[in-house]
Amino acid sequence: MSLSREALRDPRIVIYIVAVLLALLFLTPIPSYFGLNSGLKYGLDLEGGSYLQLQLEGAVVQLDANAERILMQQFNASSVEQQGDSYIITVPGVVSESVPDGMGYPGAKVVTRGNTSRVTIISLPESIISNYLQKALDADVKVVSVAPVSYEIRTAVTRESLNDLLAPVGGSVLPGEDSFQEGVTADTVDETKRVLDSKLNRLGLQDIKVRIVGNNFVLIDLAGVDVDTAQEIVGKPGKFEIRIQTEGNETMHVLYGDAIDSVEIPRGDQSSMWGVPFTLSEEGAQLFRKMAIDTGATKDPKAHEISMVLDKDVIFSAPLATDLAASLEKAPTRNMVAEVGSGDAGSEKARELYIHLREGALPVNVMVIGSGQVTAALGQQFKFQIIIAGILALLAVAFMVYRRYHEGRIVLPMLTTSFSEVIMMLGIWAAMGWQLDLASIAGIIMVIGTGVDHLVIITDELLRSGEAAASSASRSIKERADSVAEKAQEKAAKGAGPSGKVYLTRLSRAFTIILGAAATTIAAMAPLLVMGFGALQGFALIIIIGVLIGVLIARPAYGRIIGYIMAEN
């Protein structure tokens, strides 16, 4: 098959050729450290790897709790009086100014007269309740609605455990199913997915699918990663926290990960000591200075180490540097460096700490509830079987098309168009960085089938003449082509070629049928794309993309190519 110069200047054919070339560009293997890598990424089914099923631990609850009783219990107070937004707490004995800070009430004022202290706290009742739960559960607790007041508890709890926890202060979970809902809010789910995506990609795991199911489940596919490594990477990210040593091995909370404004790339100094520079927020820097002074870390840094904790595992611990301790005595310091060691080991530790500081920890604790893996050998076997299936599908289509038309000049452009649609679909998949899995390949095969149907409709419409419509359906394609050629000669003045009125009328009729079928297919796939997840979304997406490529690029070009072939013959 060859096209004339006039055909190669046809806008529809030019667009088609450019689209195929762009797709091939995205699919071209690129040299890398590991050899030649195609732009196409393979999913778990074809690459091998592991999958994890995670449960987000948390609950959204409504409580019956009293702020005054909580303050009475926390301070062992003799009385608590509310005055506007302030609470005045009377405590027997002398109370240090660091006590309210340690309980989570920064900015509290303490006045001691004789053997009695008066502590003034400015806080809302909801903040006091959430602070009490946060200290008791060692987890984040946030107010997520005010009518009614609901609290999001970002750790594993039950209605019974909360009732036991609130019983000493006369509180409980409100009755009713709506007052205790397992799971977390949509905002927390989105934040968890964002952190997981970013953290896993910074660890170098680029072939990742993170999917959310409901409000408390996460499904992750990690192509090319064994299940033990996957659990080590994903199952451990929890709450990132900075703590300071007080006495002995006891530590006190200072900051959470959200107090870190920015993190720079790890760097080594002249002695090969690796460190991670980071910047605290203004409020975080002030609180860090206050805690360092109150605990005595600025006076005796070696006795008060600063530790960074990820899900209760210490990932960094070191005393304050002498110059930093002296600086904190005078004013808050926002810019700091966490030095982790020297050599290759120090470089690796700095990289891991950079990821934790840069991305933060997950906003909620997670629990691995299911896992599994597909071996690399099995993935290679799937790839081989898919290639064989694709070749057999093309051969089957070629055979059926040839049986119908018995004409190579029709069969070859039809098969070329169908194959090029596959190239364009894979090119878009590679350009977007999406994973190709078994469900996506099933969608491609479905698009090939519907695409060939559309090409047959176009071919039949263009080859049909008045006599052909009335003749027997068993006439060969050669006879119909001869009839078309005779009419082309007879009606040359009217034009029956690619620009003629007859040609355009028949092509328009074919596209009316094709567009109706395409719209039906897209409408059928739209619910799967919106409401489905994982494999279902990939299946629906590639079908929609394939149908759009067909009706917007491939089918118009094919119609013009067949028209030029008819005009030349």
Percent of residues, the chain, with pLDDT higher than 90: 16
Phi-psi region of 170 (alpha: psi -120 to 50; beta: other; left: phi over 0): left
Distance CA 459, CA 205 (A): 47
Distance CA 480, CA 540 (A): 39
Average pLDDT value over all residues in the chain: 79
Domains defined for the chain, CATH in brackets: 5-48+375-568 (1.20.1640.10), 236-373 (3.30.1360.200)
Q: pLDDT tens digit string along 89-122?
A: 999 988 887 788 777 787 788 898 888 999 999 8
Helix or strand (DSSP H, E) at 498? none
Q: pLDDT tens digit string along 438-449?
A: 788 888 888 888
In this predicted structure, what is the pLDDT of residue 494? 40
Sign of the Cα torsion 103, 109, 113, 116 reads negative
Tokens of 336: 């700091």
Number of H helices, E strands in the chain: 20, 26
Instruction: Name the more confident of 80 and 396.
Output: 80
Tokens of 563: 């028209």
Distance CA 100, CA 291 (A): 12
**b/e map 376-392, b = 16+ CB within 10 Å:** eeebeebbeebeeebee
In this predicted structure, what is the pLDDT of residue 481? 45
Average the pLDDT over each of 165-179, 261-275, 285-299 and give the range with the smallest value: 261-275
Strands 435-436 and 41-42: parallel
Residues 437, 426 contacting (CB under 8 angstroms): no
Q: 53 pLDDT exceeds 60?
A: yes
250 burial (CB, 10 Å; 0-12 / 13-18 / 19+) is exposed
Phi-psi region of 433 (alpha: psi -120 to 50; beta: other; left: phi over 0): left
Phi-psi region of 131 (alpha: psi -120 to 50; beta: other; left: phi over 0): alpha
> Which are the contacts of 469, defined by CB distance < 8 A and separation ≥ 6?
none
In this predicted structure, what is the pLDDT of residue 452? 87
CA distances from 492 to 302, 460, 508 (A): 98, 21, 20
Distance CA 409, CA 463 (A): 13
Q: pLDDT tens digit string along 511-543?
A: 888 998 889 989 988 888 877 655 678 888 899
Q: pLDDT tens digit string along 455-470?
A: 888 888 877 743 343 3
